[in-house]
Amino acid sequence: MPLDKILEEIEATKGSAQKWYDIVYYGDQDLGVQNCPLCLLYNECMDCPIGWITGEYVCKDSPYRSWSIHQLQKHKRFGGKIECDVCRESANWELMWLQFVEGMVSYGYENEEAG
């Protein structure tokens, strides 16, 4: 993969983790695709690192699923903000997940350079 693509991917992954950090700690809002740097970079989910880690298309097998289902079922709409303890827990999982993805992405390429 060309270096500019690698850097773009690392940058987007960091940005997505940062988004969830801001949701968890600063009460920011999840606007789905609209404020996810990974979604914006890989707009049809093709080649998104989430997909190659979970082996699934879109965020189907990531904690994002429980976050969105909870919001719709419990709060009857997708507000994208933390409104209860379950929201907080789901958002925390999503944050930890993206920090893990960020680590995988950076580590993967470090290894590629070394190998």
The yes or no reply on residue 86 touching Zn ion (CB under 5 A) is yes
> 57-94 burial by CB neighbour count: b if 16+ within 10 A, else e?
eebeebbbeebbebbeeeeeeeebebeeeebeebbbbb
The answer to whether the beta carbons of residues 93 and 99 sit under 8 Å apart is: no
Tell me which stretch binds Zn ion (CB under 5 A): 18-26, 52-60, 78-86, 105-113: 78-86
Tell me which stretch binds Zn ion (CB under 5 A): 40-48, 83-91, 95-103, 106-114: 83-91
Rounded to the nearest whole angstrom, what is the least distance from the CB of residue 62 to Zn ion in the complex?
18
Which position's Cβ is nearest Zn ion? Answer: 87
Rounded to the nearest whole angstrom, what is the least distance from the CB of residue 90 to Zn ion in the complex?
8
Rounded to the nearest whole angstrom, what is the least distance from the CB of residue 87 to Zn ion in the complex?
3
Distance from chain centroid for Cα 108: 17
Residues at the contact surface with Zn ion, assessed by CB under 5 A: 83-84, 86-87
